[in-house]
């Protein structure tokens, strides 16, 4: 019931650490751990390792690609066609970043990813040639619901929207025939005081009425958090920061430990709530006043 989220801005790490991050986060530990755990990995457009390196490091893994819509439509088209040809199984379109929010921690720590992050997969030219590196690119602030039909015309991949927090947007997602929604507040880094993902989950699940799948991203720190998300209607959860913490602590083995901790805690929570299978997890387990 887990997936690894998109924490791919490893350009601030050394080359050795980047490749560890690629193995550790590309469905975890050279895919062996991921295959055993059955998890999906979402590769960000802002990954500092090339898509070919990621696929080569984790062949056969279940991978989705997260797109931040670039103002250059040709570049978006080339990236989408590239990930489809490389075997990615879904296109995740980020909809909550028309521009970067006021990230005060970055300001205080003098972190400027637009200047320091070097990317390999945004160097595609109109002729299809690649440059070795390309710095963090602008994001198209004009993207709207009507653009989804253009993306759908480019690919056979299912399209997932990441960053939905309201009933109204969830209903529009269904109307525009996307395949799924990731309920996410972007790690709380975009707009201060927006609801936590877990608080927005019930509203979104109710709005889609079972027509598309709903996933949760953000705030997963324990197996109990996984149980709560599934009880409130999430099909699965994505994990981001804990994966990086494990990676920083023990490299690939740390990632494996984090996944095992979450899995064991989740199984314990199921046992202690009387759930013999995931199918028995339901909304009645949640006392909303204590969320």
Q: Which residues does the annotation mark as catalytic?
A: 186
Q: Tell me, rounded to whole angstroms, the distance of Cα 154 from its chain centroid.
A: 21
On whether the CB atoms of residues 119 and 133 are closer than 8 A, the answer is yes
On whether the CB atoms of residues 3 and 263 are closer than 8 A, the answer is no
On whether the CB atoms of residues 67 and 155 are closer than 8 A, the answer is no
Distance between CA 183 and CA 164 in Å, rounded? Answer: 5
Three-class DSSP category at 159: strand
b/e sequence 87-102, b meaning 16+ C-beta within 10 Å: ebebbbbbbbbeeebe
b/e sequence 163-184, b meaning 16+ C-beta within 10 Å: bbbebebbebbeeeebebbbbb
């Amino acid at each position: 019931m887990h997936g690894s989220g998109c924490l791919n801005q490893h350009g601030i790490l050394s080359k050795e650490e980047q490749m560890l991050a690629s193995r550790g986060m590309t469905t975890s530990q050279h895919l062996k751990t991921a295959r055993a755990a059955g998890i999906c990995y979402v590769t960000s457009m802002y990954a500092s390792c090339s898509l070919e390196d990621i696929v080569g490091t984790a062949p056969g893994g279940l991978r989705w690609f997260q797109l931040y819509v670039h103002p250059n439509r040709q570049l978006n088209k080339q990236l989408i066609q590239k990930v489809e040809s490389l075997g990615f199984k879904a296109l995740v379109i980020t909809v909550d970043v028309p521009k970067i929010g006021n990230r005060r921690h970055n300001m205080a720590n003098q972190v400027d990813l637009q200047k320091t992050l070097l990317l390999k997969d945004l160097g595609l030219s109109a002729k299809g040639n690649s440059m070795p590196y390309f710095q963090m690119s602008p994001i198209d602030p004009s993207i709207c619901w009507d653009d989804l039909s253009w993306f759908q015309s480019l690919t056979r991949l299912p399209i997932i929207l990441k960053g939905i927090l309201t009933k109204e947007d969830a209903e529009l997602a269904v109307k525009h025939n996307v395949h799924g929604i990731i309920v996410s507040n972007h790690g709380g880094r975009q707009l201060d005081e927006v609801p936590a993902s877990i608080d927005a989950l019930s509203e979104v699940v109710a709005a889609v009425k079972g027509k598309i799948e709903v996933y949760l991203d953000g705030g997963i720190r324990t197996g109990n958090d996984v149980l709560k998300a599934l009880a409130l209607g999430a099909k699965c959860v994505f994990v981001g920061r804990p994966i990086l913490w494990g990676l920083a602590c023990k490299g690939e083995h740390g990632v494996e430990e984090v996944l095992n901790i979450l899995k064991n805690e989740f199984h314990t929570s199921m046992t202690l709530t009387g759930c013999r299978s995931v199918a028995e997890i339901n909304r009645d387990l949640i006392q909303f006043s204590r969320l």
